[in-house]
């Protein structure tokens, strides 16, 4: 018998085969060589069952049937990838050993565990745990396979996370939706994140701006000119500020104090995923999801970076030689000049700014691999450039400055000047060819939104303490206190990482990573979900709260379940999941607490008065949220459009428009968009026609569904077969009874 390798995706499976079974025969859904059979999942092949799998009554949404708390959670195949699951089941019968080669993280562990549990696979399991997909790393990983039992705690944590999300999402969403007759999506992580946006919005609205005036003195001593800001209580009277400026203008003064201090700025830490997402958003406006997708392509498709879904900014001792190899591989590329200037002796096992094994859990910081980058898209190149420059900066010394702090006195009025004089450029040479080095490390990210009073210069600066100073001019500058800024995806990711706490201290930030909202791998999806269900919307980079998002938070807090909106509380849950993965906490106790919480949510919502439906709409009517209402049902987890209560149907119907008439013979219904698909308005009387939104690797649009129903086909496009292989062709409506689609090449 042979060993069955189960990878997470087809590309990964083929990479593995190329490294360890290069002569393996390709059977499309798997590859087979002399020793190994290599196949793959396509994301989640197995899911938690919907409520009606436990009892038919749950097909209709009724608050009196809540809470829904299964004794044991049932698993069901994902209907779209059922064929691939059957392939794995058949291949497993020919194998006496399984190798879990899914992504090396909690979610990858969960994907394999679901397959193993559903198919009741009893073979012993080995675990491939690697951080990049270069052939060398894959071969080394297979030479150092770990026993599957070592990851049992991680499996427990993954299962607890999944079931906890089901319990909170299912019960919370059904309770609020049926009570208020509007689709309301509630989630263990998404709701506290929405609360962060809500609270920031309230701060902005409550902010009262104050006008004030700065007096700026322009001074000269010999050949040196400099500016200083008046030191005193804030001036809110413009006349007083003008009088002060007039008082010192064209007068002689003295240097009351002058301090010069040598300082160093060390390179920013290597990237973890959240920091990479934040900076890609700041520099390029990339959404968190886009950055994650690009990073995954650089890792999986191009193999030019290490595993991106990491929460560590450090490497282990084993990674130091790899870093030196990656540096060598950058020779002859566009980074050749920086490689030639690199000091290899700076990256070593004793450098705790880079190598700190105690702060590396599952995966080290994101690094370039020793493979040369070729064929990258423009956006992939931008992200790769961020990663490479941050990596290269570790091979450069600190930037050195002299900081001059001057207090100038004129007519007994004092003015402060801070000049930062660059002496040695050090690692900042890596960024010298860019207009502005916007990327920032955690330790000074708070300065991003502040106006700096210090002046940075590259020319020598010096003053004589004993020599007079002339005030050549004095200017009055009108200013205004600023409200808190709207979240961007970058700043929201930062808030999620620290469970909403304003943390600037780097060490404390590291400590809070275990109790953030979600994980590096899931935060992007959470933000996308809030957009999809219509709770937030984008205005450029700014995240704005919709009226619906506002009402949802107010209803949840009004019901007395404030804990559901608490970032800190949910952060504690995430920390507990991390403790479960380490074997220091009980998953059973965690789940008992989640069940109690789900029950409490339902009990509180029952007592709540029904909200006015208009409270969910913007001042301009429902137009703004209407488009998003279509996608909202995904989060409330009703299985199909046919499985909603009458109250929910009314809400969905009012929010959706007719796509087309139902093509099912003898049916006179209309097709509306539902939770996961486009279903018929006559489903309550037996019409089972549905076209699933996600189909053959595409997220179908209204116009494509309309074309399928009215013309029987779409235009040509790139698609994915059920086995994960790419295809190009049209989608055709193969069965008018059911809505089943097929690919026409």
Q: How confident is the model at residue 292, as a pLDDT? A: 96
For residue 389, give the nearest of 337, 458, 332 by alpha carbon.
337
Q: How confident is the model at residue 668 (pLDDT cuts 50, 70, 90)?
A: confident
Is-contact 223 448, C-beta < 8 A? no
Q: Is the pLDDT of residue 684 over 70?
A: no
* 542 token code pair: 């700014």
Tell me the Ramachandran region of residue 621: left when phi exceeds 0, alpha when psi lies from -120 to 50, beta otherwise: left
Report the range of poorest mean pLDDT among 22-26, 154-158, 187-191, 656-660. Answer: 656-660
The contacts of residue 510 (CB under 8 Å, 6+ apart) are: 313, 359
Q: How confident is the model at residue 496 (pLDDT cuts 50, 70, 90)?
A: very high
The contacts of residue 573 (CB under 8 Å, 6+ apart) are: 164, 188, 590, 594
How confident is the prediction for the chain on average, in pLDDT? 88
Most confident by average pLDDT, 579-593, 705-719, 725-739: 579-593
Task: Give CA–CA dist 421/462, Å, rounded.
Answer: 10
Q: How confident is the model at residue 498, as a pLDDT? A: 84
Q: How confident is the model at residue 619, as a pLDDT? A: 54
Q: How confident is the model at residue 653, as a pLDDT? A: 34
Distances (CA, A) of 420 to 264, 406, 425, 435, 500: 11, 11, 12, 19, 33
* Tens digits of residue pLDDT in 44-99: 899 999 999 999 999 999 999 999 999 999 999 999 999 999 999 999 999 999 99
Q: Is the pLDDT of residue 341 over 70?
A: yes
Q: How confident is the model at residue 656, as a pLDDT? A: 40
Q: What is the mean pLDDT of residues 665-691?
A: 79
Task: Give CA–CA dist 331/337, Å, rounded.
Answer: 8
Distances (CA, A) of 196 to 187, 189, 499, 502: 14, 11, 9, 12
Q: Is the pLDDT of residue 511 over 60?
A: no
Report the range of poorest mean pLDDT among 470-474, 626-630, 699-703. Answer: 626-630
* 77 token code pair: 């195949």
- Measured between its terminal Cα atoms, the distance across the chain in Å is 37
For residue 492, give the nearest of 287, 203, 185, 268 by alpha carbon.
287
More confident residue, 225 or 621: 225
Q: How confident is the model at residue 189, as a pLDDT? A: 92
SS (H, E, C) 294-337: HHHHHHHCCCCECCCCCCCCCECCCHHHHHHHHHHHCCCCCCHH
Tell me the three state secondary structure of residue 396.
coil
* Tens digits of residue pLDDT in 401-433: 999 999 999 999 999 999 999 999 999 999 998
Q: How confident is the model at residue 437, as a pLDDT? A: 44
* 173 token code pair: 């969403």
Residue length of the chain:
745
Task: Give CA–CA dist 550/200, Å, rounded.
Answer: 11
Q: Is the pLDDT of residue 453 over 90?
A: no
More confident residue, 626 or 479: 479
Indicate if the alpha-carbon torsion angle 634, 640, 643, 649 is positive or negative: positive
Q: Are strands 31-32 and 36-40 parallel, antiparallel or unpaired?
A: antiparallel
Counting residues of the chain whose pLDDT is more than 70, the rounded percentage is: 90
Q: How confident is the model at residue 507, as a pLDDT? A: 53
Q: How confident is the model at residue 681, as a pLDDT? A: 77
Domains assigned to the chain: 2-144 (3.40.50.140), 162-205+485-616 (1.10.460.10), 211-266+400-437+451-480 (2.70.20.10), 273-397 (1.10.290.10), 658-744 (no CATH)
Q: What is the mean pLDDT of residues 477-485?
A: 94
Report the range of poorest mean pLDDT among 34-38, 103-107, 167-171, 372-376. Answer: 103-107
* 99 token code pair: 């190798």
Q: How confident is the model at residue 737, as a pLDDT? A: 85
Counting residues of the chain whose pLDDT is more than 90, the rounded percentage is: 72
Question: What stretch of H or E contains 98?
Answer: strand 95-101
Q: Is the pLDDT of residue 667 over 60?
A: yes
b/e sequence 201-218, b meaning 16+ C-beta within 10 Å: beeeeeeeeeeebebebb
Question: What stretch of H or E contains 46?
Answer: strand 46-48
Report the range of poorest mean pLDDT among 9-23, 489-503, 508-522. Answer: 508-522
Q: How confident is the model at residue 436, as a pLDDT? A: 54
* Tens digits of residue pLDDT in 136-184: 999 999 999 999 999 999 999 999 999 999 999 999 999 999 999 999 9
More confident residue, 401 or 105: 401
Q: How confident is the model at residue 330, as a pLDDT? A: 97
| Catalytic positions | 307
* 735 token code pair: 């069965």
Task: Give CA–CA dist 30/624, Å, rounded.
Answer: 46
Task: Give CA–CA dist 6/25, Å, rounded.
Answer: 16
* Tens digits of residue pLDDT in 378-403: 999 999 999 999 999 999 999 999 99
Please state the pTM of the whole predicted model. Answer: 0.78
For residue 530, give the nearest of 544, 519, 520, 542 by alpha carbon.
544
For residue 171, give the nearest of 539, 712, 556, 489 by alpha carbon.
556
Task: For residue 184, count other CB atoms closer than 10 A to its CB.
Answer: 29
Q: What are phi and psi of 532, to 5 degrees?
A: -65, -35
Q: Is the pLDDT of residue 634 over 50?
A: no
Task: For residue 558, count other CB atoms closer than 10 A to its CB.
Answer: 14
């Amino acid at each position: 018998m042979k060993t069955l390798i189960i990878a997470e995706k087809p590309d990964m499976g083929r990479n593995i085969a190329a490294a360890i079974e290069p002569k393996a025969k390709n059977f499309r859904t798997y590859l087979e060589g002399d020793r190994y059979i290599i196949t793959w999942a396509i994301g989640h092949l197995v899911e938690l069952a919907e409520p009606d799998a436990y009892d038919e009554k749950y097909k209709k949404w009724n608050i009196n049937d809540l809470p829904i708390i299964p004794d044991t959670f049932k698993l069901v195949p994902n209907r779209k990838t059922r064929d691939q699951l059957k392939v794995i089941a058949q291949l497993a019968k020919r194998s006496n050993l399984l190798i879990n080669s899914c992504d090396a993280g909690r979610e990858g562990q969960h994907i394999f565990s679901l397959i193993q549990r559903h198919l009741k696979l009893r073979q012993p399991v080995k675990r491939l745990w690697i951080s990049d997909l270069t052939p060398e790393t894959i071969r080394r990983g297979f030479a150092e396979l770990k026993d599957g039992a070592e990851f049992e705690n991680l499996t427990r944590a993954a299962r607890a996370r999944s079931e906890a999300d089901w319990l909170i999402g299912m019960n919370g969403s059904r309770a609020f939706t049926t009570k208020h007759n509007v689709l309301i999506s509630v989630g263990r992580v998404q709701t506290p994140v929405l609360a962060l946006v809500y609270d920031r919005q309230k701060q902005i609205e409550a902010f009262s701006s104050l006008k004030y005036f700065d007096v700026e003195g322009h001074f000269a001593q010999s050949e040196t000119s400099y500016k200083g800001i008046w030191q005193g209580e804030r001036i809110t009277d413009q006349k007083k500020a003008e009088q002060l400026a007039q008082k010192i203008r064209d007068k002689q003064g003295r240097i009351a104090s002058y301090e010069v201090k040598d300082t160093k700025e060390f390179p920013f830490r290597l990237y973890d995923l959240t920091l990479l997402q934040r900076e890609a958003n700041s520099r390029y406006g990339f959404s968190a999801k886009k950055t994650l997708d690009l990073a995954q392509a650089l890792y999986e498709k191009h193999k030019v970076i290490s595993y991106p879904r990491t929460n560590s900014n450090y490497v282990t001792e084993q990674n130091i030689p790899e870093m030196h190899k990656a540096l060598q591989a950058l020779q002859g590329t566009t980074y050749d000049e920086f490689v030639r200037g690199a000091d290899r002796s700076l990256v070593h096992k004793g450098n705790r700014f880079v190598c700190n094994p105690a702060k590396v859990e599952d995966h080290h910081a994101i690094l370039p691999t020793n493979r040369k980058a070729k064929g990258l898209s423009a956006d992939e190149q931008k992200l790769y450039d961020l990663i490479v420059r941050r990596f290269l900066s570790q091979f450069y010394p600190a930037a050195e400055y002299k900081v001059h702090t001057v207090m100038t006195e004129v007519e007994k009025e004092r003015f402060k000047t801070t000049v930062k004089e660059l002496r040695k450029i050090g690692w900042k040479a890596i960024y010298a060819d860019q207009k502005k080095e916007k990327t920032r490390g955690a330790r000074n990210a708070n300065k991003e939104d502040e106006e700096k009073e210090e002046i940075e210069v590259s020319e020598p600066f010096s003053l004589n303490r004993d020599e007079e100073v002339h005030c050549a001019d004095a200017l009055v500058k009108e200013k205004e206190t600023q409200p808190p800024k709207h979240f961007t995806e970058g700043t929201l990711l930062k808030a999620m990482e620290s469970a909403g706490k304003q943390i600037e201290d780097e060490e404390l930030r590291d400590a809070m990573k275990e109790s953030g909202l979600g994980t590096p791998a899931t935060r992007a999806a959470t933000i996308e979900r809030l957009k999809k269900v219509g709770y937030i919307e984008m205005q450029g980079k700014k995240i704005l709260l919709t009226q619906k998002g506002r009402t949802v938070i107010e209803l949840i807090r009004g019901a007395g379940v404030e804990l559901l909106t608490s970032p800190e509380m949910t952060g504690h849950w995430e920390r507990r999941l991390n403790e479960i993965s380490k074997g220091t906490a009980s998953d059973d106790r965690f789940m008992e607490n989640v069940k109690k919480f789900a029950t409490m949510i339902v009990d509180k919502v029952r007592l709540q008065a029904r909200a006015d439906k208009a409270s969910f709409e913007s001042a301009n009517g429902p137009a703004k949220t209407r488009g998003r209402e279509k996608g909202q049902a995904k989060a409330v987890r009703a299985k199909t459009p046919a499985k909603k209560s009458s109250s929910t149907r009314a809400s969905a119907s009012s929010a959706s428009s007719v796509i087309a008439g139902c093509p099912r013979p003898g049916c006179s219904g209309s097709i509306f968009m539902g939770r996961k698909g486009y279903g018929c308005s006559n489903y309550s009387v037996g019409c089972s026609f549905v076209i699933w939104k996600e189909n053959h690797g595409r997220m179908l649009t209204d116009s494509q569904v309309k074309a399928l129903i009215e013309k029987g086909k779409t235009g040509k496009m790139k698609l994915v077969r059920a086995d994960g292989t790419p295809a190009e062709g049209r989608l055709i409506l193969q069965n008018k009874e059911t809505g089943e689609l097929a690919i026409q090449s």
